[in-house]
Amino acid sequence: MPRTTDGDGTPVPQRLLAAATRLFAEQGYDRTSVQEIVEAAGVTKGALYHYFGSKDDLLHEVYARVLRLQQERLDAFADSDEPVEKRVRDAAADVVVTTIDNLDDASIFFRSMHQLSPEKNKQVRAERRRYHERFRALIEEGQRAGVFTKESPADLVVDYHFGSVHHLSTWYRPDGPLSPQEVADHLADLLLRALRP
Domain spans, the chain? 12-51, 55-195
| pLDDT for the residue 8 | 58
pLDDT, tens only, 147-185: 999 998 999 999 999 999 988 988 999 899 999 999 999
Residues 6+ apart with CB under 8 A from 81: none
Checking if the pLDDT of 2 tops 50, the result is no
Task: Identify the residue with better confidence: 56 or 90.
Answer: 90
In terms of C-beta density within 10 A (0-12 exposed, 13-18 middle, 19 or more buried), how is residue 20 classed?
buried
The pLDDT of residue 1: 38
Phi/psi at 11 (nearest 5 deg)?
-65, 150
Separation of CA 33 from chain center: 24
Q: Residue 11's beta-bridge partner residues? A: 5
**pLDDT reading at 86 higher than 90:** yes
pLDDT, residue 121, reads 87
* CA angle (87, 91, 96) in 5-degree steps: 155
Region 69-81: what's the mean pLDDT? 96
For residue 5, the SS3 value is strand
CA pair distance 87, 115, nearest whole angstrom: 35
Q: Considering the entire predicted model, what is its pTM? A: 0.86
Which stretches of 79-190 are assigned E, i.e. beta strand?
A: none
CATH class of 55-195: mainly alpha
Q: What is the SS3 assignment for 11? A: strand
Q: What CATH fold (topology level) applies to the domain 12-51?
A: Arc Repressor Mutant, subunit A (1.10.10)
Helix locations, 102-117, DSSP H: 103-112
Q: What is the mean pLDDT of residues 114-132?
A: 89
pLDDT higher than threshold 90 for residue 78: yes
**What is the percentage of the chain residues whose pLDDT exceeds 70?**
96
Helix axis angle, 118-144 relative to 154-166, nearest 10°? 130
DSSP 42: T
Strand partners, 5: 11
On the question of a common fold for 12-51 and 55-195, the answer reads: no
